Structure 1
Amino acid sequence: MISIGGMPRTARRIARRVAVGTVMVGSIAAGSLPATAAQARPATPAADREITFTVDGTITYGTLHIPAHRPGQKMPAVLLLPGSGPTDRNGDQPPALTPHTLAKLAGALAGDGVVSLRFDKYGTGRTGLGAYAGRPETLDYPAFVRQADAAYRLLAGQPEVNRRAVRLIGHSEGALTALRVAVTAAPRAAGVGLLQPLARRFLDVLAQQLHDQLAAAVAAGQLSRQEQLTIGRAVDQAVADLRAHRPPDTSAMPPALAELFRALAGPSRRYVETIDAINPASVAHQLPPRIPALLTCGTIDQQVPCHTTTELAAALERAHTSGPGRIVLPDVAHDLTDPANPDVLASATLDALRRFMRCGTR
């Protein structure tokens, strides 16, 4: 049996993120965006509103955050979309992983008078698998897009929201969903933000992460060069098998990786196949012209290195989007924080968010 040191823990973490079918509220007091203009003293205090909507026979549960505002005021709004795997409305995978990424984003937006909606997608929080509980193998990626599209329309219809100023912001895998919704959104989206996005095909990103981990294990003396080559070839073959609708050959893999690819080929297979079929750059080409767009990447993000976002950034330019485009965030990790101060969003993240929210406003 091949030993690869730290790889099993990495593989298990990736498996939890990507095996949606069966392996499938934080504080809002994060940093806030600098105020854009002085406002009259609000008479209506800030509030969280529990909200539900039904799509494809499933009740989805979410949190609508309404900032302090004047009676009758119409405010800009953002739909926040989480990353892969069992990531809930707050950007958490409790109990092990609780960075509160989306809750922090909601808090930052609220500080600038922006309404936000975040919800428990399929397989998470109060929503759970819903109508798919007895048939998880039928849950595909388009179901998540329909769920997000329904949330967008619900947000646009809230009495406190300016329908012409509703944006989408997706984190990690949620960025692809934000792109898909923005292409056909009604009313037209006022902007789309892609934060540390899934910028290549799903299985390409997974394979790259695994190859990076193998290289790190060699550098640390935990793995020989020959073992790296053997396991790397097995990873590439397993990806090819999944794309050819064949059972992946896991015979040359250590147990943790074999378990990961068996999970991908199990009840989650339909989801994996349908999301992997999408190239994010191709979706970006379909965006409405002149829509404000933001793409961020962090210099210490090991899941989405900046070089992996180049094709998507170019696609946004070719689609004639406006806005800040790609912004590199120095010393920012995948969860949008500076590891030296992980309890709040990094100042570079807040600055990029502020630039995006100001772009295209009238």
Structure 2
Amino acid sequence: MRLRTPWRGGMLAVLMAAVAVVAVGPVPGTAWASAAPRAALIPAVDREIHFTADGVTAYGTLHIPAHRAGHKLAAALLLPGSGPTDRNGDEPPGLTPHTLALTAGILGGDGVMSLRFDKYGTGRTGLGGRDSAPDMAAYTRQAVTAYNSLRAQPEADPHALLVVGHSEGGLQALLVDRAVQQKPAGLALIAPQSMRLLDLVRLQLADTLNRAVAAGHLTARQAWWNNRGVARAIADFRARRPVDTSALMPSLAALLKGMFGPVNADFVRSDDALFPPTVARGVAPGTRTLVTCGTEDTNVPCRTMPALLSGLDAARTTGPGLRILPGLDHLLHPAGTPVNDSVIAPAAQQALHDFVRPWQHTAQD
């Protein structure tokens, strides 16, 4: 969850290959011998896909790894974080870490196909005729339609469907699990939103103010006053009272005005109404789950995870569970890495490999 307004302002040619049949002729003095036919190898491919939810066409990329013809693949729906984050995990032009595109490549190396798409307000999908952010339920309906589109792909194994969500996408993965009839076999919650939205925002801002005090940029009293003002503004917004941000630092005031203004207010209320640990309790028993947190993640700190993990435990989920990623930030970078570096650290890659181990295969299988 990046410290920003959830929204600023805001697959189809199928490759077919013939089956190669090798006939072995008779050998003098022996019976007929034959070699078992082996399906042709289909190379990896990306193909464009589109689907329609609530009358709006969304566009995405289906990544299909190399595989033998006729072989069904585990299939993962990839969900982005907050803000205008597109199918690749980017907010161009300023923020382009390629988080979801890199994740698709990692999963593809394990033989898992994936679908990532431009959610409302991003990429080719755009606003869909809206002039304000849809509420969380609309984003969920869009993600559910994407999940069902992935399930319908001819290469996809309908019994090995996965959902991988980053940041706010982790909460959305839980909501997709709750909404779909055929439940995912696995959920990977990567640095997931683990608290009510505005509680998390308040925590992020408090930590930011404390760091400013430690660096000598603010006095302790200035930090206290701004923390108090943020808490009051959040309480007033939740109670639908007028919100006064005039006494706050300009940067904080601008952030809260953007979140609470007419463009984003409905979305913020609908997200803030959700308590991720409660949603996690509804996950189907036996679902394989992964939860990651980076020790240098200032957006969703590891200390926020226990309640979410308790919810998953109450649901009797299985799998790798929590993986703490030493030294990694919210974008799965080693701390201090430039945000636009296209890299996912080895520890995060290993967590994904471990998550998909039951469904791994190579093209030679």
- The TM-score, its normalising length taken from structure 2, stands at 0.87
Partner of 1:89: 87
Aligned partner (choices 104, 121, 144) of residue 119 of structure 2: 121
Is 1:239 equivalent to 2:260 in the alignment?
no
**Letter paired with 1:93:** E
Partner of 2:304: 308
Offset of 1:23 from its aligned partner?
2.6
Offset of 1:358 from its aligned partner?
2.0
**Quick one: distance in 2 between partners of 1:281 and 1:83?**
18
Structure 2 contact 165–190 (Cα < 8 Å) conserved: yes
Partner of 1:104: 102
DSSP-derived class of the 1:122 partner: coil
Offset of 1:344 from its aligned partner?
2.4
**Quick one: distance in 2 between partners of 1:14 and 1:315?**
25
Offset of 1:131 from its aligned partner?
3.1
Aligned partner (choices 270, 273, 297) of residue 274 of structure 1: 270
Aligned partner (choices 212, 221, 240) of residue 216 of structure 2: 221
Instruction: Please identify, of 270-279 and 308-317, the stretch whose mean Cα deviation from structure 2 is larger.
Output: 308-317
Q: CA RMSD in A?
A: 1.8
Call closer, same or farther: CA 1:202–1:340 in 2, change over 3 Å. Answer: closer
**Quick one: distance in 1 between partners of 2:332 and 2:138?**
27
Instruction: Please identify, of 193-202 and 311-320, the stretch whose mean Cα deviation from structure 2 is larger.
Output: 311-320
Call closer, same or farther: CA 1:188–1:227 in 2, change over 3 Å. Answer: same
Partner of 2:9: 23
Structure 2 contact 88–100 (Cα < 8 Å) conserved: yes
Partner of 1:331: 327
Structure 2 contact 74–156 (Cα < 8 Å) conserved: yes
Structure 1 contact 298–305 (Cα < 8 Å) conserved: yes
Q: Name which one, 1 or 2, has greater alpha-carbon Rg.
A: 2
Partner of 2:136: 141
Give the number of the structure whose residues are more often helix, by fraction. 1
Call closer, same or farther: CA 1:41–1:196 in 2, change over 3 Å. Answer: farther
**Quick one: distance in 2 between partners of 1:305 and 1:323?**
22
Aligned residues: 329
DSSP-derived class of the 2:187 partner: strand
Call closer, same or farther: CA 1:171–1:42 in 2, change over 3 Å. Answer: farther
Which runs of 5 or more structure 2 residues have no equivalent in the other structure? 11-37
Q: What CA deviation, in whole Å up to 9, does each residue of 1:206-229 have, x standing for no partner?
A: 110000000000001100111111
Q: What CA deviation, in whole Å up to 9, does each residue of 1:52-75 have, x standing for no partner?
A: 001111110100011111111110
**Quick one: distance in 2 between partners of 1:194 and 1:361?**
19
DSSP-derived class of the 1:130 partner: coil
Offset of 1:101 from its aligned partner?
0.3
Partner of 1:35: none
Partner of 2:167: 172
Call closer, same or farther: CA 1:216–1:339 in 2, change over 3 Å. Answer: closer
**Letter paired with 1:312:** L
Partner of 1:52: 50
Aligned partner (choices 247, 258, 262) of residue 263 of structure 1: 258
**Quick one: distance in 2 between partners of 1:313 and 1:183?**
17
Offset of 1:41 from its aligned partner?
8.8
**Quick one: distance in 2 between partners of 1:252 and 1:131?**
36
**Letter paired with 2:347:** A
Structure 1 contact 156–187 (Cα < 8 Å) conserved: no
Aligned partner (choices 142, 145, 149) of residue 150 of structure 1: 145
Partner of 1:343: 342
**Quick one: distance in 2 between partners of 1:42 and 1:171?**
35
Q: What CA deviation, in whole Å up to 9, does each residue of 1:170-224 have, x standing for no partner?
A: 0000000000111232322111110000000000111100000000000011001
Structure 1 contact 323–359 (Cα < 8 Å) conserved: no
**Letter paired with 1:273:** R
**Segments of 4+ moved more than 3 angstroms:** 339-343, 359-362
**Quick one: distance in 1 between partners of 2:336 and 2:211?**
23
Q: What percentage of residue pairs aligned between the two structures are identical?
A: 49
Partner of 1:356: 355
**Letter paired with 1:153:** N
